[in-house]
């Protein structure tokens, strides 16, 4: 009788703890080819961000708040793809696509938290430009480390609370629908939609995280740049260098925000996105900034470009 009753346990009492990441499942025969662009983007991100970090660390002339923030952005851009691209390539090439629930939650936290930190870094850069252009007499006072921490502590606490809440609530769900995640990494809603209970709270917290981090940061960044541009126009002075830096930030912010919000909202509103399109957008909102942030900063920021050329010129001459 005991054996008989165990064989007919209700399905809803079973909760999966091992999952399979089945991103681009419809294109399974194309996985080896799909791995090539992702591998190239991963290598581009790793090499370019590593070089940018080395140039900023090694050149004392770049040890100012603005360039240190760019260096931190390079650290973030270097780390983000590491959290999912190697695992995705192993899945494409060798079909190693298994992941435990704990591993899935850890990956989810790392990707979402570091992604939120990337958005917050862009906000800090906008604060730096605001003081440099609109309050130059107070720049060194407010951009000193102890004073600058006052501006960053609130966004950091906000990011930790929102992402930790989102991930912990996802970990409490019972997953009895299936154990195949239709994604290349543990994206929040890709996992949550496999739960067999009510996920309205999870959906709400995920949406609040998207709105209160990148969207809110974008609003503050936009306001700060409007004030900066208005100040430049009113002063009548030439601030081509400062404006060039601001334009660089705006390009990066706009691209990152568009990809991020489309990826978040594609799970929550009716749309014609296929599963493959949604996965592609989700991977691009991580990989696209990581690949092109160092290139854009290196090309458009004169000081970094000069030090970069100086570094490679010295490296070329030294063996002789």
Cα 194 from Cα 28, distance rounded (Å):
21
What is 172-213 written as a DSSP string?
Answer: TS---S-SEESSSS--HHHHHTT-SS--HHHHHHHHHHHIII
pLDDT of 165: 95
C-alpha distances in Å from residue 140, one per residue of 64, 65, 121, 241, 280: 10, 9, 19, 19, 43
pLDDT of 2: 41
3-state SS assignment for residue 59: coil
3-state SS assignment for residue 68: helix
Return the number of other C-beta atoms located less than 10 Å from residue 10's C-beta. Answer: 7
Confidence (pTM): 0.84
Q: At CA 237, angle to CA 232 and CA 240, rounded to 5?
A: 75
Q: Where do we find the tokens 């490679």?
A: 312
- Domains in the chain, please, with CATH? 18-306 (1.20.1070.10)
3-state SS assignment for residue 16: coil
Backbone angles phi, psi at 23, to 5 degrees: -65, 140
Assigned token pair, 101: 């629930």
% of the chain beyond a pLDDT of 70: 88
pLDDT of 245: 66
Assigned token pair, 121: 């870094």
pLDDT of 140: 80
Cα 233 from Cα 227, distance rounded (Å):
10
Model pLDDT for residues 242-257, shown as the tens digit of each residue = 666 677 677 777 777 7
pLDDT of 240: 63
- Which of 23 and 252 is assigned the larger pLDDT? 23
User: How does the average pLDDT of the chain come out, rounded?
Assistant: 82
Q: Model confidence at 62, in pLDDT bands (50, 70, 90)? A: confident
C-alpha distances in Å from residue 225, one per residue of 149, 155, 212, 245: 21, 19, 19, 11
- Which of 145 and 292 is assigned the larger pLDDT? 292
User: In residues, how long is the chain?
Assistant: 320
Model pLDDT for residues 260-315, shown as the tens digit of each residue = 777 777 766 666 777 888 888 888 888 888 888 888 777 777 778 787 777 667 65
Cα 103 from Cα 186, distance rounded (Å):
9
Q: DSSP letter at 27?
A: G
Query: Which of 24, 182, 19 lies closest to 89 in space, CA to CA?
Result: 24
Assigned token pair, 52: 């940018």
β 180-181/18-21 pair status? parallel
């Amino acid at each position: 009788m005991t054996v008989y009753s165990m064989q007919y346990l209700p399905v809803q009492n079973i909760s999966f703890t091992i999952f399979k990441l089945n991103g681009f499942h419809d294109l399974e025969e194309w996985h080896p080819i799909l791995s090539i662009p992702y591998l190239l983007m991963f290598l581009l991100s790793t090499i370019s961000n590593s070089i940018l970090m080395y140039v900023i660390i090694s050149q004392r002339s770049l040890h100012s708040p603005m360039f240190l923030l760019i260096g931190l952005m390079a650290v973030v851009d270097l780390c983000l793809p590491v959290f999912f691209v190697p695992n995705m390539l192993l899945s494409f090439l060798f079909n190693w696509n298994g992941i435990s629930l704990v591993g899935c939650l850890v990956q989810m936290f790392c990707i979402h938290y570091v992604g939120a930190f990337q958005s917050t870094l862009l906000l800090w850069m906008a604060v730096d430009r605001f003081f440099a252009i609109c309050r130059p007499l107070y720049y060194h006072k407010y951009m000193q480390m102890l004073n600058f921490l006052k501006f960053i502590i609130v966004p950091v606490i906000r990011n930790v609370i929102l992402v930790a809440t989102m991930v912990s609530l996802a970990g409490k769900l019972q997953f009895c629908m299936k154990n195949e995640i239709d994604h290349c990494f543990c994206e929040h809603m890709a996992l949550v939609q496999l739960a067999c209970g009510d996920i309205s709270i999870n959906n709400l917290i995920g949406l609040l995280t998207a709105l209160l981090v990148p969207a809110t940061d974008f609003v503050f960044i936009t306001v700060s740049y409007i004030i900066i541009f208005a100040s430049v126009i009113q002063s009548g002075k030439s601030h081509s260098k400062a404006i060039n830096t601001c334009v660089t930030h705006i390009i990066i912010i706009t691209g990152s925000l568009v990809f991020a919000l489309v990826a978040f909202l594609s799970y929550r509103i009716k749309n014609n996105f296929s599963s493959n399109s949604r996965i592609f957008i989700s991977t691009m909102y991580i990989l696209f900034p990581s690949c092109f942030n160092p290139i854009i900063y290196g090309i458009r920021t004169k000081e970094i470009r000069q030090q970069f050329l100086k570094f490679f010129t010295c490296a070329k001459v030294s063996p002789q």
